[in-house]
Amino acid sequence: MVTKKKELKAKVSGVLLTAILILTMMPWHVMADDTSAAEGTAAANAATTESEGVSSEAASATTRDAAQNKPAAAPATPAGEKPLATSASSKKVVKASVKVVYKDGTPVEDGTAFTLEDPDNNDQKDYEVKNGKLELQLISDKQYRLGLSWEDEKMDTHKVVEADANLGTIPVAIASNGKTLVWYDRHNKKLLENKPVTTVTLKEIEDNDETPSEPKPAEKKRVEKGELANVRDIDVTLDDGTPMPDGVQLELIDMSRVADWSYEFEKYTVKDGKIHGVKMKAETQYKIGMDTANPSYSDYTIVGAYNSKHLMRIYARYENEYPLYYDYDEGIGAPEKPIAKLVFHKVKEQSELENPKSNSNITVLKVSDGGYVAKAGLPFRLVRKDNGKSKVIYSEQGEVTINTEGNVPYELKLDENDTYVMKNKIEFTMKQNKQGKYNPIIEGYDANDINGYLQCSAIELVRKDGKKPGSDIVKPGENTGNNNIEDCNPCGECEDCAKYKPEQYAKIYEKEKVILKNMPVLRKSGNEYKPVNKKVTFIFYNATTQTIETKVESSNGVLPDVEMVKGNNYIVFAEDGDFEMPNAYMVLNKTGEKPVPSKDNGRKVDAFYLTLRSMYVSNPEAAKRVAYTLPVFDKDHNPIDGVNIKFVSEYDEVTAKVNEGVVEYSLIEDQNYMVYVDDPRYTIDSFPMTMKDKSEWGAAKYAFNHFSCGSVNELILKPKSEEGKNNTQLIDIDNTTAVTGLHFGNGEYLVSVRKLPNETVKGLEGKDYEVLDIDMINMYRTELSKLVRGNFKISRLVPDGKDVKQVYYVDKEGKLVKVPFKQILASDGGYIVAFDMPSMSLYNNVIEYTDHKQAEPEKPVTPAEPEKPVTPEKPVNPVNPGNNQGDNNSTQPNVPTPGNNGGNTNVSPEYYVANGNLAWNGDDNGLLIVVKSKTDDEKTFERFKGVEIDGKVVDPSNYDVVKGSARITLHASYLRSLRPGKHAVTARFSNGSVNSEFAVVSRAANKAPNGKATLNGKNIRTVVKTGDSAGFEFMFAFVIASMLLGVVVAMRKKNA
């Protein structure tokens, strides 16, 4: 008799089974949203927008009076104005809508592009008109500038009526509790809530005035390049014709020296409407006018300067003649235009002060002589294709630096010289990518295609004499100041990235020490420099090895002797409450010599120059920190709230909370911090972030991604379930060791493995072991990269005839610390050891070995089923490491190649592959593998755990598995990533596993990311990303169905 209770359970069971069938048959791949992957957080190049002024910090460091000044009291805020909020809690991401019309009131056409510029972060984002409106997304209480996009064709024919006359854009902001965009008062840093910006109006552009200049003098005496030329007195007038008042100060800035942190600008005072006694190096670019620290900066703007309201480019060529106008596009090669008069405008409104919007960019390109560093001094010519103007740029050692403008087509040529011709024609246009950054894009490529980034491809040269390249290569360990530690560019998958040899980064392991002796510590007093008698602390940070090496204290204006590594790049910080100093970037090559600034080619550093702070700082360490703000989004670009972001360096850790889409934090300048998410819901593709001072390029301080050296403009968080899916793998030059755990970038990073003498560790005397220094290297900066936190997985080939007994790392006290490990059977019968590390480049590893013990092979068992299993070519031996395995039984779910089977390989006779001759011929159906059990086949599907190919765990999204024994179908999209030939496959179950192999007969055009590497005939797969998203919808349905099925089975077992 069936009770009602059992009858009810039976009905529920039936309903659940029906639900399972419906779920598995539903077209999830059609119903799922087609959402694209989130954009990368780092800009694709190291290009930095050039501004015409030198940063206020750098300027004030050279002009500040020795006396301390008390800060003025803040003025009262009038009605209708709101001061800019500074607290993190008040900021959030806000949406705003703005109408866009022509002057006659008709709506502007859909698709017209506008740019919303973030001047604080030097960032831009484009929006298109839709239904006559712009839908903007801003961080509250923060200034922006809204104007036509340089990409839009209307940029040449129209302007914004409401725009600031000097900017060409509208300075705007929005309050955290506001819904309407308002005008932003930049001078007083206030939101003008009584001046809403609800409509943007376009009108046609009228003709502009020309730059004033004097006729060219008749007779001149030319001065040799670099020699000082005396310049004629220059008139200084206002635009109404009256002379500039006496006593007004002008700065003359040598642009070849702005990277020199000790350089102070020349200053001239107007007298009788002129400046007198000006001297300039011939054929060298200068800027003249009023820098940000000038007392009259807010009172005047200069007339006729290119893209600037404060500084004009000039140069000198002749003795006792007027300076000449320096043309932005042609430099000193342009027709001569003498500047006999400097004309200034008296400012009536503060809005007149700001420079026009600029999209000029500096990009460093690599110059290759057959794969070697090309010699310096090569005459490259940069040609503007829109107007035919050109200028010659001389290369440095293996590099040429170009300064270009957005949306302008260029051609880069090599002028006649004795040694080289260019291999290929180079044409490009500065284009803006999705992140709003301009990059030099090779003709024929899209702005968002990294393969078209000019900086990712070296400029290939061909020798005229046909000689073998390499005679001009820079010797490792020698640093003459040409290797700028700031010089780094992102790179895509370029061929040269895999060609780095250990000698090219040998300076990282340089052992020779040199002594910095008798370095003066000075401060400016009046017109002279005097010793700083107070004891001041200086910190020497070795940027090449990412290590704080020394803290020293000056005495009576002199540093004690400081030991440094020869040829390494150093950053020197001053840490004092009374005095400050811009970070000094330097290299020392010989004891007793003055160091070479690594930011200025070949110039000696004769002293450390300090300036008095405006007020005493009780915590100078905190004063070194750089405050910064970043928006934080999910992968669909929705603002995130309430998540903790961690910034972790070897010497510091900062936790900052995201508030309504914004994170505000403060990091020590020039240290590398790993970025993590401390929240169970989210993850991030972690990367090392560095706060950098780019004031020597006329810019501010920025956040940089140390993997690519691109700027960081936002943080994109992803669901926790996607953690590690974008990880890539690096293999050392000898193809013996592989590392994974992060997305390391595309080519600019490598893993270095060095075997150290056994005597470097204690405690294993008389035993068989090797000591390994496994380091991550940033080759665009030639620096060690310390990744202080993460989940890194390292695998290394085990020498023939050996088993691994234990793996260790050596801590800072020299003690051996055991590391969980696995010894894994590779597809060719060799062995691989795989182990985890929580960091990279911090600790050496030790692998202890024993002699290999051969295990008895298992005899094949013929199954009772009619299907005959595939017989392996040779018996597969289980791993038998021999002695105590320590912690080698811990889980190892995702070991990098070469090899991984998640544990010691024990092939169970319980399972066999029922369909033989496995091969995939390139079709779209994938590859079916049927696994059966000889004793309990109805439970085969239930016991299924996963699949490994060539020892690497395959992500479940790359295959389907269904009941009927266990029918595993490898997706075609995954199979296309494998090289042609045979591959080992392992199917894992809760009570055993089975090994087999299959062949990839042919393949589609897409190739594996990094091909293959071999060592002694052992095939090693490289960089196979197992995070393909194909099949996710089915797996989602499958997981739900499996859960429901489990409920049904449990209910029926209970009723049985």
Is residue 350 a contact partner of residue 309, using CB atoms and an 8 Å limit? no
Tokens of 729: 């793998």
Nearest residue to 727 via CA among 646, 791, 820, 637: 791
Domain boundary (722, 743, 769) is at 722
Average pLDDT, integer, range 448-470 = 75
Same domain, 945 and 972: yes
Q: Furthest-apart CA pair in the chain: how many Å?
A: 123
Give 967's strand partners.
930, 962
Mean pLDDT, all residues of the chain: 76
pLDDT at 726 over 90: no
pLDDT score recorded for residue 19: 52
Identify the CA nearest to 660 among candidates 631, 628, 629: 631
Residue 656 shares a structural domain with residue 631: yes
Phi-psi region of 711 (alpha: psi -120 to 50; beta: other; left: phi over 0): beta
Which is it for the CA torsion 77, 81, 86, 91, positive or negative? Answer: positive
Residue 486, in any domain of the structure: no
Output the six-digit token pair for 767: 């035993």
Could you tell me which of 750, 842, 745, 829 has the C-alpha nearest to residue 790?
842
**748-772 pLDDT, tens digit each:** 688 999 999 999 999 999 999 999 9
Mean pLDDT of 16-24: 50
Tell me, yes or no, whether 842 lies in a domain. Answer: yes
Question: Looking at the 3D structure of the chain, how many domains does it have?
Answer: 6
More confident: 867 or 308: 308
Query: Do residues 166 and 355 make contact, with C-beta atoms less than 8 angstroms apart?
Result: yes
Residues 140 and 160 in one domain: yes
Residues 905 and 835 in one domain: yes
Per-residue pLDDT tens digits for 299-336: 899 998 888 888 999 999 999 999 999 988 888 888 88
Cα 159 to Cα 170: distance, rounded to the nearest angstrom: 11
The rounded distance, in Å, linking the Cα atoms of 868 and 875 is 17
Do 881 and 741 have their domain in common? yes
Give me the domain span that covers residue 789: 728-1025
The top-scoring range by mean pLDDT among 32-41, 352-361, 469-478, 608-617 is: 608-617
Place of tokens 């000038």: 294
Could you identify the residue written with the tokens 């730059």?
211
Tell me the pLDDT band of 955, cut-offs 50, 70 and 90.
confident
User: What mean pLDDT is predicted for residues 884-890?
Assistant: 33
Considering the chain, what percentage of its residues have pLDDT values greater than 90?
A: 34
pLDDT in tens, 212-267: 444 444 568 999 988 999 999 999 999 888 999 999 999 999 887 765 545 668 89
Q: Are residues 696 and 595 in the same domain?
A: no
Shared domain for 810 and 919, answered yes or no, is: yes
Instruction: Judge whether 784 lies within some domain.
Output: yes
Confidence of residue 880 (pLDDT cuts 50, 70, 90): very low
Residue 569 has pLDDT above 50, yes or no: yes
d(CA 582, CA 399): 26
For residue 293, is pLDDT > 90? no
Is 63 a member of any domain? no
Which of 47-56, 137-146, 167-176, 672-681 ranks highest by mean pLDDT?
Answer: 672-681
Of 104-108, 354-358, 881-885, 921-925, highest mean pLDDT: 104-108
854 in Cβ contact with 876 (< 8 Å): no
Which of 598, 620, 642 lies at the terminal end of a domain, its last residue? 620
What integer is the mean pLDDT of 943-953?
Answer: 88
The segment with the largest mean pLDDT, out of 39-48, 788-797, 867-876, 935-944, is 788-797
Chain centroid to CA 1: 72
Average pLDDT over residues 583-589: 89
CATH number at residue 690: 2.60.40.10
703 has a pLDDT exceeding 90: no
Element (H, E) at 422: strand 420-422
Residues 715 and 745 placed together within one structural domain of the fold: no
Residue 644 sits at the vertex; the CA angle it makes with 638 and 648, to the nearest 5 degrees, is 120
Euclidean distance between CA atoms 956 and 958, whole angstroms: 5
What pLDDT score does 429 carry? 93
Which string of b and e fits 443-480 if b means at least 16 CB within 10 Å? eebebbebebbbbbbbbbbeeeeeeebeeebbebbebe
Are 51 and 699 spatial neighbours (Cβ–Cβ below 8 Å)? yes
Q: What is the mean pLDDT of residues 80-85?
A: 60
Q: What is the pLDDT of residue 451?
A: 66
Structure tokens given for 890: 């811990």
- What was the pLDDT predicted at 1033? 45
| H or E segment and range at residue 569 | strand 569-575
772 and 733 in a single domain? The answer is yes
The interaxial angle of helices 4-25 and 1032-1055, nearest 10 deg, is 160
Q: Is the pLDDT of residue 1025 over 50?
A: no
How far CA 906 is from CA of 826, 876, 877, in Å, comes to 13, 9, 8
With a CB cutoff of 8 Å and minimum separation 6, the contacts of 355 are 51, 52, 53, 166, 167, 307, 308, 309, 310
User: What average pLDDT does the segment 534-547 reach?
Assistant: 94
SS3 439: strand
Q: Are residues 193 and 331 both part of a single domain? A: no
Using alpha carbons, select from 413, 406, 370, 368 the residue that is nearest to residue 390: 413
Most confidently modeled of 529-543, 745-759, 999-1013?
A: 529-543
pLDDT at position 536 over 80 = yes
Residue 295 inside a domain? The answer is yes
For the entire predicted model, the pTM comes to 0.48
Q: Does residue 608 sit in the same domain as residue 632?
A: no
Task: Kindly report the backbone phi and psi dihedral angles of residue 13, in degrees, each rounded to the nearest multiple of 5, phi listed first.
Answer: -60, -40
Identify which of 772-776, 970-974, 999-1003 has the greatest average pLDDT: 772-776
pLDDT at position 907 over 80: no
Do 402 and 458 have their domain in common?
yes
Contact predicate 538/573, CB 8 Å: yes
Highest mean pLDDT, choosing among 325-334, 379-388, 443-452, 852-861? 379-388
- Contact between 412 and 404 (Cβ < 8 Å): no
Would you say residue 220 lies in a domain? no
User: Beta partners for 521?
Assistant: 608
Q: What is the mean pLDDT of residues 692-709?
A: 60
Q: Residue 691's closest CA among 703, 706, 673?
A: 703
Structure confidence at residue 402 as a pLDDT band (50, 70, 90): confident
What pLDDT sits at residue 133? 95
What is the arithmetic mean of pLDDT over 823-851? 89
Residue 628 to residue 667: CA distance in whole angstroms: 8
987 compared with 1054, residue with greater pLDDT: 987
In a domain, 815, yes or no: yes
Rounded distance between C-alpha atoms, residue 295 and residue 310, angstroms: 13
- Whether the predicted pLDDT of 820 surpasses 80: yes
Model confidence band, residue 981 (pLDDT cutoffs 50, 70, 90):
confident
Q: Which of 276-280, 389-393, 1026-1030 has the lowest mean pLDDT?
A: 1026-1030
Residue 388 CB partners (closer than 8 Å, separation 6+): none
For residue 79, what pLDDT is reported? 54
User: Is residue 838 a part of any domain in this protein?
Assistant: yes
Structure tokens at 529: 């420099």
Q: 827 falls in which pLDDT band (50, 70, 90)?
A: low
Give the CATH number, domain containing residue 248: 2.60.40
Position with higher pLDDT, 475 vs 451: 451
Looking at residue 81, what is its pLDDT? Answer: 60
Q: Which of 566, 594, 620 is the last residue of a domain?
A: 620
DSSP letters for 571-620:
EEEEE-SSEE-PPEEEE--STTSPPEETTSTTPPP--EEEEE-SS--S-H
What pLDDT was estimated at residue 369? Answer: 79
Strand order in the sheet with 688-693: 653-657, 644-648, 672-678, 688-693, 701-705
pLDDT-based confidence at residue 911 (cuts at 50, 70, 90): confident
